[in-house]
Structure formats: C-alpha cells, structure tokens
Amino acid sequence: MTSAGDLPTQFVIHTVGPIYGRDPAVEADLLAACYKNSLSLAAQNNIRTIAFPSISTGAFGYPRAEAAAVCSAAISEFLAKNVEFEQVQLVFLSAGDLRVFRQCQNFG
C-alpha cells in the first residue's frame, strides 16, 4: 500500500494478478487472493471505500468472463465475513468489459 500521489484518493493498494495459462490449477485461487488480500489490507488500515480494476484481464490475458466469476465470488465471500466496508467499486476500461462482467458475475 502506498500513498496515492496526485490521484483523488489517499492510498493505492498494489496487487499483481496471475498470468493466464501459466498454472491453470491455481489461477482462480491466485486471482481471488488478489481481491481478498487487498480487501483485508484495506480493512486493517480502516479504509472503508475501495475500487478495483479488472485484475489480470489486460496484458496478463485472463479471460474477462472467468475473471468476473472469480472476482465477484471472492469479493462476496470476503464481505460476507467482513462488514466494515461502505463501498466496493469495480471499474472497467470499456462498456464491453462491463457487459461481460454483468453477464458472468456471481454476486448473490
């Protein structure tokens, strides 16, 4: 976690997602851990609002549909046990990315 510099927020939590295709047996677990670990770090630092990009779906090649299912399940699982967040936002590069997420998400 670092300060946010000139960004309109206080902190940036850095995470590196998995490169798709390197280790199929654990890719979903690794991607889920990116979200859960970031949420955990935010909670430990009394951060109540967090925003996520679609981790690993760019240069790392994680298919957007699969990533949507993993992301939404990981966030839902974390929030079911941790109620201290006021807002968790997902930020997408394009309307197409948002469309895929909406179709493939697993939020309850």
CA 3/CA 9 separation, integer angstroms: 9
CA 16/CA 14 separation, integer angstroms: 7
User: Given a cut of 80, is residue 75 above it in pLDDT?
Assistant: yes
Residues of the domain holding 60: 2-104
Q: Give 108's pLDDT tier (boundaries 50, 70, 90).
A: low
Work out how many domains the chain is built from and give that number: 1
SS3 content of the chain, % helix, strand, coil (to 5): 45, 10, 45
Q: Give 83's pLDDT tier (boundaries 50, 70, 90).
A: confident
CA 98/CA 70 separation, integer angstroms: 15
User: What was the pLDDT predicted at 104?
Assistant: 93
> What CATH number is given to the structural domain containing 56?
3.40.220.10
Nearest to 64 by CA among 16, 30, 103: 103
Q: Dump pLDDT digits (tens) for 31-51.
A: 999 999 999 999 999 999 999
Q: Dump pLDDT digits (tens) for 11-36.
A: 999 999 999 999 999 999 999 999 99
